[in-house]
Amino acid sequence: MRNNSIRTVIFTGSLFIVGILFFQYYWVRKAYDMNKMMLENDIGTALYNVAEKISIYNKSPLPSSNPVSQQKHSYYVVDINSEFDKQTLDYYLKTEFEYKNLPLDYFYAIYDCNSGTMVLCESSTHAIAQQKEEYCQEFLAVEGMTYYFGITFPSQTKFILEKMLIWIISSIVLFITLVFFAFSLLIILRQKRLSEIQKDFINNMTHEFKTPISTIGISSEVLLEKDNIRNSERLQYYAFIIKEESQRLARQVEKVLQYAMIEKKEFRLKIDEINLHQLISEVVKTFEPHVKEKRGEITTKLVSSNDFIRADKFHIKNVLFNLLDNAVKYSPEKIKISVSTEFVNGLLKIIIKDNGEGIPHEYQKLIFQKFYRVPTGNIHDVKGFGLGLDYVKNIVEIHRWKIDLLSEVNKGSAFTITVGGKSVITNRKQDND
């Protein structure tokens, strides 16, 4: 993924995170306000009922206006409009709050008209009695009333939050999730940076390798042309080894470079019209010595009626080379490899078969992944980077072709590349006639 795309993803993700946090705060606040309003209505109704019952008990009318007034967040004043005693008030407060199912702790005080102050500050339970001095200081006289009491609820906010427990838990979980997401994003960005550094290092390293490899290759060719080397079988053998190994190393370096280009999305195909049968024959010819070393044979059956395709010759040659190289490496002595083509229903198919070890069914979907190699226990007799088949799959898919695998343990494998669409030149041979 390019840096611009990553920045877009990060910016968009950050906007979504901020939006989620904003809406979560909005709805939590909304829920809190709603619960607060409902509780205040319930408290107001309960206190009105208390005033009404005391009024009936005293056989005196209530004030014409609402006797209950909220002075502060949790402090209420109730105008009784007639004299009442502490025991009556205490009884009606307890019964009314129990009836309304409002298990709230509270302090109350009665106004003394003789002294002009609030007196007889009492608590609803012994559990909060120790806070009496702190809360009784909040009771202040109210002008315009003679017989009234004040009541405060120290646990009103706590009561609201307890009713919103599910909202609080979900908000905490959401916050932790978003923090974890942000932390994961930072780790991903750090890993991406390290990955880019690693890729740059590999690219620089492989580029540095190309010059000495080329020099070694040229030097080995010069050595092989010398008369004293030709006359000495031993020197000719070592010069030939140098040439072969330098070519193999060059192919590996080129493979890493091409793969890095694919990873960076800087890969561009150079499409030409190529003779597929001729290209296959060239690649097969390079493998004949290796196959003979294993006392095997490599055969071709190139019977496709259309053998000209539009493709990148360099990379298609590498694809064929990788598939044949795997066939040679993972096949036993007396190796048998066949390369064939056929043209069926407008599709050109390239089939590469071998009689090798085969691939277990559970690994067949994984072998095209980068760096993946089929587990072989403690046996490491076949070396490689695990990039070959991933490179093959990428090149095939970039050409918009298809590759399939049919394999059975101890019976070998068959890779089929299906070339279709505009890649097949169906009238080339007619043009040549």
Range(s) of the domain holding residue 190: 165-263
- Please check whether residues 91 and 218 belong to one and the same domain: no
- Please check whether residues 281 and 381 belong to one and the same domain: yes
Mean local confidence (pLDDT), 160-182: 87
- Please check whether residues 202 and 347 belong to one and the same domain: no
| Domains contained in the chain, number | 3
pLDDT single digits (tens) 244-274: 777 777 777 776 776 666 666 666 788 999 9
- Please check whether residues 150 and 242 belong to one and the same domain: no
User: What is the spatial distance between Cα 304 and Cα 419, in angstroms, rounded to a whole number?
Assistant: 12
Cα 81 to Cα 64, 126, 150: the distances in Å are: 10, 30, 14
- Please check whether residues 250 and 302 belong to one and the same domain: no
pLDDT at site 201: 67
CATH of the domain at 286: 3.30.565.10
- Please check whether residues 217 and 90 belong to one and the same domain: no
- Please check whether residues 148 and 173 belong to one and the same domain: no
Mean pLDDT of all residues belonging to the chain = 81
User: What is the spatial distance between Cα 291 and Cα 335, in angstroms, rounded to a whole number?
Assistant: 7
**Nearest to 177, CA basis, from 16, 6, 1:** 16
Q: What is the CB-side half-sphere exposure of residue 68 using CA atoms within 13 A? A: 18
- Please check whether residues 114 and 259 belong to one and the same domain: no
- Please check whether residues 113 and 148 belong to one and the same domain: yes
Q: Which of 132, 163, 194 is the last residue of a domain?
A: 163
Instruction: Return phi, psi of residue 101, to 5°.
Output: 55, 55
Answer whether residue 300 shows pLDDT above 90: yes
Q: What six digits make up the tokens of 97?
A: 């709050």
- Please check whether residues 255 and 275 belong to one and the same domain: no
Q: Name the residue with tokens 């490491």.
A: 380
Answer whether residue 158 shows pLDDT above 80: yes
pLDDT at site 92: 92
pLDDT at site 431: 45
Q: What percent of the chain has pLDDT over 70?
A: 83
Element (H, E) at 279: helix 276-293
pLDDT at site 266: 61
Q: What six digits make up the tokens of 168?
A: 């609080």
pLDDT at site 180: 86
Band of pLDDT at residue 38, cut at 50, 70 and 90: very high
Q: What percent of the chain has pLDDT over 90?
A: 21
Maximum CA pair distance of the chain? 137
- Please check whether residues 276 and 421 belong to one and the same domain: yes
Q: Which of 241, 263, 285 is the last residue of a domain?
A: 263
Q: Which of 263, 291, 307 is the last residue of a domain?
A: 263
Mean local confidence (pLDDT), 315-337: 86
Q: CA dihedral in degrees (182, 183, 185, 190; nearest 10)?
A: 150
Q: What six digits make up the tokens of 308?
A: 């000209």
pLDDT at site 377: 45
pTM, to two decimals: 0.50
Mean local confidence (pLDDT), 59-81: 87
The winner for highest mean pLDDT among 11-25, 88-102, 368-382 is 88-102
pLDDT single digits (tens) 204-218: 666 667 667 777 777
- Please check whether residues 277 and 294 belong to one and the same domain: yes
At what angle are helices 313-329 and 233-263 packed, to 10 degrees? 120
